[in-house]
A = this chain, B = another copy of it.
């Protein structure tokens, strides 16, 4: 016991290797997992519990005492109990005065309570220094050591020194502390582990919907129509041909949808004559998920590339080519090179390759570690200039690809135009409007508006 209390004295950094005792209130799963890990990292651990008899569940090397006794043994007290049971801490207020209380709790829902658990704790025990930490780490990961990701522990608190002490423990456990500032950040930190890709929901739902629509559209045109009229069974098109039609269509439409809100915003600002009024909510939300939209588009583009490159390996394609050659031989005719066809085929492939290449570049620059290393001017250059170039190349790729069938009546089956024609509507619209907005008569006022000028100052908020 004496040894322990000398440890507590050693709070000020010393050259001794001994680590300070840490107290954990609560012997639930996370409390025990944290205790195990801390003992492994060389911290003496003491548990504070209602029933002071040592349970088998608790690490052997840890003492179990009453809350009051345990609290007296340590400067840092980890509150591993649920918010609903925080009340009893008010009775310990005197003992907890000046101690560092680490709130590690999580909620079950986003913004479950008006104030964060850590702020609630700080109100209950005003004399203590409350630090929020560890809530983003899972007990299972902590114990099994499989912390491949999520080594980051968000830490916030009003007392700098208390925060430093907690961050030192975090580092000693092999995790990376991230200082998130004062206790005001606790709400956000508590919401963080409850999220499941919130920004991805809209882009993924939208693309699922579009996939379903275009799947049935192509099914009707490419499989049911030939089956009904020509009695041919092309059901195996479901595996590659139809996906390879859906993917490029979705990639193009979603890419255009990335640039559509910017164009709409410009129109709204020109119309209103000011940038100081907020955009409609749906436009704001749309703008915020542009990166995700673009990445989903890139995923479809990548699939399109893979589906296209395996074409010559497909058994069906090999059969078709060899039957063409055989029939050519049997008819004893040699076809000359069709120069127009060679030009068309080579140029849509080249456009597609360049478009995809730029698209991948955009994707790479949106990696967090890359975009953190470019400044605003560079980011705008890449995402805006290169982005529009990508859109232009991909639209041209689609147009050249289908150019010859555009107005041919045979391409309308059951009055349905080819799917790729539908895919051109949005990107062409975006490109045309953007082209119009480049004209000086519109570009100049827009630039001035974006620099803060207002046409009708009286209308601004």
Contact = CB atoms under 8 A, between A and B. Distances in A.
Contacts of A28: 452
A334 B325 contact: no
A342 interface: yes
B167 A303 contact: no
A92 interface: no
Interface stretch (A147-155, A248-256, A413-421): A147-155
A379 interface: yes
B375 A193 contact: yes
A148 B366 contact: yes
Given A167-B181, A353-B306, A366-B148, A452 B375 contact: no
A220 interface: no
Interface in A54-89: 55-57, 59-60
A5 interface: no
Contacts of A275: 140, 143
Contacts of A233: 339
Interface in A335-382: 335, 337-339, 341-347, 349-350, 353-354, 356-357, 360-361, 365-381
22 contacts: A14-B158, A17-B115, A29-B451, A36-B276, A57-B276, A145-B284, A145-B288, A168-B184, A193-B375, A197-B381, A237-B346, A239-B343, A299-B357, A303-B357, A309-B313, A311-B313, A312-B312, A318-B321, A322-B328, A367-B367, A368-B370, A369-B370
Contacts of A368: 369-370, 372-373
Given A310-B349, A338-B315, A341-B315, A376 B284 contact: no
Contacts of A29: 451-452
A282 to B, nearest CB: 14
A346 B240 contact: yes
A291 interface: yes
Interface of A is mostly: helix
A367 to B, nearest CB: 6
Given A314-B349, A368-B373, 13 more contacts: A15-B183, A17-B115, A29-B452, A57-B457, A60-B461, A145-B287, A167-B181, A168-B181, A306-B353, A309-B309, A323-B334, A325-B325, A367-B367
Contact of A376 (B32, B193, B318, B328): B193
A355 B325 CA distance: 34
A158 B13 contact: yes
A374 B284 contact: no
Contacts of A287: 144-146
Given A17-B119, A315-B344, A195 B377 contact: yes
B367 A370 contact: yes
A205 to B, nearest CB: 16
B316 A346 contact: yes
Give the contact-size bracket for chain A: 35 or more
Interface of A: 13-15, 17, 19, 28-29, 32, 36, 55-57, 59-60, 115, 119, 122-123, 126, 130, 136-141, 143-146, 148-152, 158-160, 164, 167-168, 171-172, 180-185, 192-197, 233, 235-237, 239-241, 243, 265, 275-276, 279, 284, 287-288, 290-291, 299, 302-303, 305-316, 318-319, 321-330, 332, 334-335, 337-339, 341-347, 349-350, 353-354, 356-357, 360-361, 365-381, 383, 450-452, 454, 457-458, 460-461
A319 B325 CA distance: 10
B454 A57 contact: yes
A326 B316 contact: no
A353 B451 CA distance: 48
A26 to B, nearest CB: 12
Nearest to A124: B15
Q: Which 9 A-B pairs have the closest CB atoms?
A: A13-B158, A29-B452, A369-B369, A315-B345, A149-B371, A239-B346, A312-B312, A15-B122, A368-B369
